[in-house]
Amino acid sequence: MLDDQSAPAMMPLRAPSDVMRLRRMGASFPTRLSFLRVLLRRLAGENSQVTRPVWNMCENGFGHAVYSITLGGHVYSLVAVSTDLPPDQRTDRVIATAWDSAYVLYDGVPDTQEIARIVATAPHQEASRYTESDLVLSRANKSVRLFAHAVDALRAGRQPDADLVQQTGYLMRTTAVYGNGKFGIADRDVFADRPGLGGPFMAEMLTVWLIRGFTHDLVEHVGQALLDPHLKRHLGIGNSTGLGMAPFLVSHPLLLNAWITARETALARVRAVEFLRVDQIEHLYNLMSRAAQHIAEWNVPDKIGQGRIDQIRQEWPGLTAIMTPELMSGGYPLDQLWSAAETCGIDTQECLAALMIEPFGALVDDLADAMATDQTATLNPAMTCVELGDALARDWAWALCDYADPKACHQFWYVSEAKAEPRLGLRHAEPGAELESPLDIARRVADLAADLPKTGTVAAFLAANPHHRAAVRRVQSLIAAPYSEIRDNLIGQDCLPIDMLRCKLSFFGAAKFDPKSDRWTRITLCQGAPLRDELDNADDWWLPTFAA
């Protein structure tokens, strides 16, 4: 991040009380600070090249392959294993035990012995154990209809149906991308200090982008012909994401603060641009048209999700109409546009925020350097109870409600014994509440507020009330990290976990959210992203459209 002396001008940051509500978090869109975008800019800047030293596939596309790429002076290799999966075993649910393909991102270039080890273990995923040379573990299933159709079309000498490509958007979808020490793979500390992998989820994003290229190669191999580059570019990598991802934002509050702070600072900087150049104005006009087309191409079966998309479609022309030549060539045009959007719905506002950031890489890209943090929440026992009470009154009023009300404690989070994954139960209808995970942050803070005296120190209070220790640490950490806390009751009846999923996935760079319930969604990653031989044009694929 820039130092204070050279920091750009900024408008005031949006209030955490607005930004950190679930409904707004659940309207997030990818931005140029999303991790996939940051990664591909880095690869492009280093002129990285992908090689494929191993391709051991039968004519039906079963076997293994190895892809290697250099990033930050280190070589990383994706080992991809494709298996013949019976149709009755294909499921995106976490209870699956077999998948069409499995992957390991390997530290270096694996030799024959290491390839054999990964080929033998990766298809078993959680049932196997891995080594510190294995950085990321993943698996994916085919989009059966599109993959089979694409193969048949290519073998018949034609390209896949464009409408079907547009509707589906991927040949395979991942059902997990594991990092940070799971099942014996490398802890993040192994590579966090390496150039290019220091940012959040960089190893995982590199894995996803390489998997996407493998799916292209596989369908071309089985189809015995090449895909049209336009169709190929539109074929990203799908993903099915459920409750397992949701608690991450709660258990990593300071990391969440870093992400949101970067995005909000970017928005504040571009709103403070006094005058736009002609090329920036033109870019903004083009992005408004692109966003309109992207949203027109985005349709989902979910009625609530489709209703929100329809609202953006209805409101977008009004925003476009505001962008007259007079406004755009006058003073502070983006701040005026942002003010005008206050009458629009939350989804439209968040799409506009992402769009406004997009043309200003030179102004905002440095913020990506501060999106990883090694900060941890700490306890300050010397704080007085009066000071802690002031913080509660200032930052936590939203949490201080009556949790004896069944609606306020409607749900409980727990970890599945069978799959070691987070789950959500209904407190008054299902057993297991005694196994509740500590995601009831608001209730814990409310209990703290009820017991906190008006005299003495935090140290003395906790000596008598040690069960409040976690809540005290949480409140104190929020004082210096205003975007660290989701300001909604996560066990209340109105909590929709999908809002947490979308927030996190948007920072990955996901688009085309396709909610299947309030607890899981499908998305598309890397759609419109440069192919591995197109990294010289790695920075103009925000909200891609099929209509080229």
pLDDT reported for residue 1: 47
Based on the domain organization, do 85 and 184 belong to the same domain? Answer: yes
Confidence (pLDDT) at 252: 94
Per-residue pLDDT at 305 exceeds 90 = yes
| Domain boundaries, position 288 | 251-371
- Shared domain for 365 and 389, answered yes or no, is no
Q: Is the separation of the CB atoms in 373 and 480 below 8 Å?
A: no
Is a pLDDT exceeding 80 seen at residue 408? Answer: yes
In a domain, 528, yes or no: no
8 within a domain of the structure (yes/no): no
Residues 432 and 458 in one domain: yes
3-state secondary structure of 523: strand
| Lowest-pLDDT choice from 2-11, 241-250, 521-530 | 2-11
Report which of 532, 525, 517, 529 is spatially closest to residue 175, judged by C-alpha positions: 525
The domain boundary residue, chosen from 423, 456, 479 = 479
Q: How confident is the model at residue 94 (pLDDT cuts 50, 70, 90)?
A: low
pLDDT tens-digit readout, 312-346: 999 999 999 999 999 999 999 999 999 999 999 99
Same domain flag for 332 and 399: no
**Same domain membership, residue 143 and residue 84:** yes
> For position 497, what pLDDT does the model report?
93
Whether residues 424 and 468 fall in one domain: yes
Examine the domain organization and report whether 127 and 192 are in the same domain: yes
Does the residue 533 lie in any domain?
A: no
Q: Could you read off the pLDDT of 184-234 as tens digits, one per residue?
A: 999 999 999 999 999 999 999 999 999 999 999 999 999 999 999 999 999
Would residue 90 count as lying in a domain?
A: yes
- Give yes or no: residues 366 and 390 share one domain: no
The sheet carrying 170-178 orders its strands as 51-57, 63-71, 74-82, 101-107, 134-142, 170-178, 236-241, 521-525, 511-515
What value does the mean pLDDT take over residues 8-25? 97
Tally of CB atoms within 10 A around 156: 10
CA distance 121 to 427: 39
| Cβ count within 10 A of residue 123 | 21
pLDDT at residue 261 above 50? yes
What pLDDT score was predicted for residue 210? 98
Cβ neighbors of 514 (< 8 A, separation 6 or more) are 300, 301, 302, 305, 521, 522, 523
**Mean pLDDT rounded to a whole number for the chain:** 94
Quote the tokens at residue 519: 């607890």
**Residue 239 CA, distance from chain mean position:** 11
Distance, CA of 53 to CA of 372 (rounded, Å): 33
At 359-387, the pLDDT tens digits run 999 999 999 999 999 888 899 999 999 99
Cβ–Cβ under 8 Å, residues 449 and 395: no
- The pair of three-digit structure tokens given for residue 229, joined into one six-digit string: 């580059």
Report pLDDT digits (tens) over 415-430.
888 767 888 999 999 9
220 and 287 housed in the same domain: no
Task: Tell me the per-residue pLDDT of 506-540, one tens digit each, with 9 for 90 and over.
Answer: 999 999 999 998 889 999 999 999 999 999 878 89
Q: How far apart are CA 7 and CA 223, in angstroms?
A: 53
Token pair in block for residue 528: 């419109």
Length, in residues, of the chain:
548
Identify the burial level of 376 via C-beta atoms within 10 angstroms of its C-beta, where 0-12 means exposed, 13-18 middle and 19 or more buried.
exposed
- Is 501 part of any domain? no
In a domain, 287, yes or no: yes
Q: Please tell me whether the overall predicted TM-score, pTM, comes out greater than 0.85 for this model.
A: yes
In a domain, 7, yes or no: no
Domain limit, last residue, from 464, 479, 494 = 479
How many separate domains does the chain show? 3
Residues 58 and 207 in one domain: yes
Examine residue 147 and state whether it is found in any structural domain, yes or no. yes
The CA dihedral of 459, 461, 466, 469, to the nearest 10 degrees, is -70
Q: What is the dihedral of CA 386, 388, 393, 397, to 10 degrees?
A: -150
Is there a contact between 41 and 300 (Cβ–Cβ < 8 Å)? no
Q: Which of 479, 495, 510 lies at the terminal end of a domain, its last residue?
A: 479
Name the CA radius of gyration of the chain, rounded: 24
- My answer on whether 268 and 366 are in the same domain is yes
Residue 95 has pLDDT above 70, yes or no: no
* Integer Cα distance of 508 and 189 in angstroms: 20
321 and 189 in a common domain: no
